[in-house]
Structure 1
Amino acid sequence: MASLPIMRPLFRPLPALAAALLLWAGAASAQMTLFSAPAGKGRELTVYSSLDDDLAAPLIAAFQSRNPDVAVRYENLLTTELHDRIVAETQAGRGTADFAFSSAMDLQVKLANDGFARPVQTPDTPGWPGWANWRDTAYALTFEPAVFAYHKPSFAGREPPATRADLMRWMAEHPAQAQGRIGTYDVARSGVGYLFLARDQELYPGIWSVVQAMGRAGVQQFPTSAALLERIADGRLAVGYNLLGSYASDWARRHPDLGVILPRDFTVVVSRVGLVPMAARQPGLGADFLAFLMSPEGQGLLSRTLRLSAVSLEVAGQPGPAGGMQDLAGLRLKPVPVSPGLLAYLDRATRARLLARWNKALAGE
């Protein structure tokens, strides 16, 4: 079993009414699936996750093959609901999930920073990349690049944009083809889209020239990956900017007209973050599940079965299907570190300034 150091919680109790309302709201929206223990009645692991049930099922089946006496109560939540449920249940003194797995890196780090996660060391902790582990409390478990997606027939006979400079050049040289046919996330509604924009601003001084050019070309904004990828696959959009690579890669396998490029100037990488809550009812089971996801078997499943590239260097270094996406060698990869620096993205004033600059750049100001 993974070791569980003792840590004093740093949270303050919520008023009883506020805690009760948050608990009710979370319970009302959660989608719960119970995976029965293969060996019959035994221990129960509770997981709160933003990963869809069908994608989580292979992970749970593999974990249960190692632990046949464990039933898994799996609750699929929106990322904000997941955070709020853990906070409310902890502060109400009721106990909470044994493991939390979310694509909202900032909210997961906030849980850890605020004392709602306990340190856990697994057999793979010593070899885990430093950027992917904050104080053994929050671990990045996937490696998901921001990519360009494109409609292959729209670029027949020429190369699609592979850098931000290429994208600007294409928009300038082919205004008729580009007009209204560039898509990206609505950064005011998409958490990952906002995170990608914030990292672009930090890494690339010329990003606002790119945004202004997309604004002149009538860029379309969407809150979800699926809405963007559907329109690229059928040709309504020619290029998608800063799409989550795991979803784009999966769509490309099923839609032959959709291509994916990892930007060659730099590639922002985000992760899904796992942690064991401080108030977990079964913290040992939560630590065991975390250890499984960090193991070569768990990382291989995340990479191959779920098409989410792995953090584990043993898996992520493999080209082709084993790595979940194309070979990452030679790219300027810029992972978002799992650290309190992510909390800046939750600051309301910082967010308001970035969104205002985005809207002004799109308007040509």
Structure 2
Amino acid sequence: MFRWLVPLFVALAPARAEVVLFPASPETARMTIYSTLDAPLARPLIEAFQGQNPGVTVVYDELLAGEIYDRVLAEPEGTADFIFSSAMDLTVKLANDGQALAVDVPLEGDWPRWANWRDMAFALTFEPAVIVYHRPSFPDGPPDTRAALMGWLETAPRGKIGTYDIARSAVGYLFFSRDQEHFADIWPLVEAMGRAGVRVFPTSQDVIDRVERGELLLGYNILGSYATDQAARRPDLGIVLPRDYVVVASRVGLVPKAARAPDLGQAMLAFLMGREGQTLLAEKLRLPAVSLEVSGRDSAGAMARELGPRLRPVPVSPGLLAYLDPANRARVLARWKAAVE
């Protein structure tokens, strides 16, 4: 994701699960973060946090959402000090299953109710699912509702639409689960994608890159926070917010119960909920802010004023756990596979 950004840090281990060291000198404490956010994008957040907390070296472990969940469960004697994950359901499950600490941070009482579950799991971003498209291929604009998308798919060139592989992408599965709740014809839409030779990928960036090149003409349910900044830099990449409804997901912060330095994890959470952290998320990372104190375009408040009832944010609540029910998930994935393969 955002491949042109080059990490300026000391790499500790090569892998998709990249571990990056943000050293402090002199080092007086060390904090470990497990996060789905790309390490290069985390740089301004970590450096600003270190500016408020001098002497804290940060070990930043970039993982897939499922890997974060598995690691926390596998490390009961000592795990990361802070979790920052795009998988809302898996993160809430950690809290629900007793793997999170209830924290006391300055803004917890003012945080939106939908974005705080029992002072353990906090939504920290407000990220819509969008349609990305190859601008030269849509001189009159792309389909901008799910019904219009179904119509386009009937005559679309084969193999030119992409989306998440919901079996491998936690956020993709979350978006699809919300679609099932808000769009009665979601399965006919998936079947239309299958007939059109849909290609599925584990990350947003896989789709975005192919759409920008014209290898794909359209990407469905793509995380807008990754696409927005790139669209401003890549003229052939377009974005549209669906006119029927817009699912909004959040990255969730949590301090694990088994954290080695829970005080530092709590300090990171407080920083990301504060004005500086929320402003950095919105302005530097283009991850729209939850806090109503951030009044710019990249904020929940601004989107609510512009889009009104079209927005369908996902609450941080145990309701997310229904998406993880093994029997239900198996049925959904089996039906999905039959439709798209």
Q: TM-score, with normalisation over the residues of structure 1? A: 0.83
In the alignment, structure 1 residue 171 sits paired with structure 2 residue 153:
yes
In the alignment, structure 1 residue 135 sits paired with structure 2 residue 108:
no
d(CA) in 1 for partners of 2:338, 2:23: 53
Q: 1:356 aligns with which of 334, 338, 341?
A: 334
Match in the other structure for 2:41? 55
Match in the other structure for 1:296? 275
d(CA) in 2 for partners of 1:82, 1:343: 17
User: What is the one-letter code of the residue matched to 1:225?
Assistant: S
d(CA) in 2 for partners of 1:313, 1:179: 44
User: What is the one-letter code of the residue matched to 1:57?
Assistant: R
Question: Gapped runs of 5+ residues in structure 1?
Answer: 1-25
Pairing of 1:339-354 with structure 2 (within 5 A): 339-354=317-332
Match in the other structure for 1:19? none
Pairing of 1:266-305 with structure 2 (within 5 A): 266-305=245-284
Q: 2:137 aligns with which of 154, 172, 181?
A: 154
- How many residues were matched structurally? 326
Question: Gapped runs of 5+ residues in structure 2?
Answer: 1-12
d(CA) in 2 for partners of 1:155, 1:30: 37
In the alignment, structure 1 residue 88 sits paired with structure 2 residue 55:
no
Pairing of 1:1-365 with structure 2 (within 5 A): 31-38=18-25, 40-90=26-76, 93=77, 95-156=78-139, 158-172=140-154, 175=155, 177-315=156-294, 317-319=295-297, 322-323=298-299, 327=303, 329-331=306-308, 332-362=310-340
d(CA) in 1 for partners of 2:284, 2:94: 28
Deviations 1:89-127 (A, max 9, x none): 22xx3x222211111212211111111111113222122
Q: Residue 89 of structure 2 contacts residue 324 of structure 2 at CA under 8 Å; is this kept in 1? A: yes
d(CA) in 2 for partners of 1:227, 1:76: 17
Q: Which moved more, 1:103-112 or 1:211-220?
A: 211-220
Q: TM-score, with normalisation over the residues of structure 2? A: 0.89
State the identity as a percent: 60
User: What is the one-letter code of the residue matched to 1:127?
Assistant: D
The alignment partner of 1:139 has SS state of strand
d(CA) in 2 for partners of 1:354, 1:170: 24
User: What is the one-letter code of the residue matched to 2:84?
Assistant: F
Q: How much does 1:361 deviate?
A: 4.1
Deviations 1:143-192 (A, max 9, x none): 11110011111111x122111122123334xx1x4432221112222222
The alignment partner of 1:71 has SS state of strand
Q: How much does 1:323 deviate?
A: 4.1
d(CA) in 1 for partners of 2:100, 2:37: 19
Instruction: Quickly say closer, same or farther: Cα 1:358–1:31, change in 2 above 3 A.
Output: closer
Instruction: Quickly say closer, same or farther: Cα 1:56–1:231, change in 2 above 3 A.
Output: same
The alignment partner of 1:75 has SS state of strand
Q: How much does 1:29 deviate?
A: 7.9
The alignment partner of 1:80 has SS state of helix
The alignment partner of 1:96 has SS state of coil
User: What is the one-letter code of the residue matched to 2:145?
Assistant: T
Q: Residue 66 of structure 2 contacts residue 170 of structure 2 at CA under 8 Å; is this kept in 1? A: no
Instruction: Quickly say closer, same or farther: Cα 1:309–1:194, change in 2 above 3 A.
Output: same
User: What is the one-letter code of the residue matched to 1:346?
Assistant: L
Match in the other structure for 1:6? none
Instruction: Quickly say closer, same or farther: Cα 1:49–1:88, change in 2 above 3 A.
Output: same
Q: Which moved more, 1:292-301 or 1:348-357?
A: 348-357
d(CA) in 2 for partners of 1:141, 1:216: 38
The alignment partner of 1:259 has SS state of strand
Q: How much does 1:247 deviate?
A: 1.3
The alignment partner of 2:293 has SS state of helix
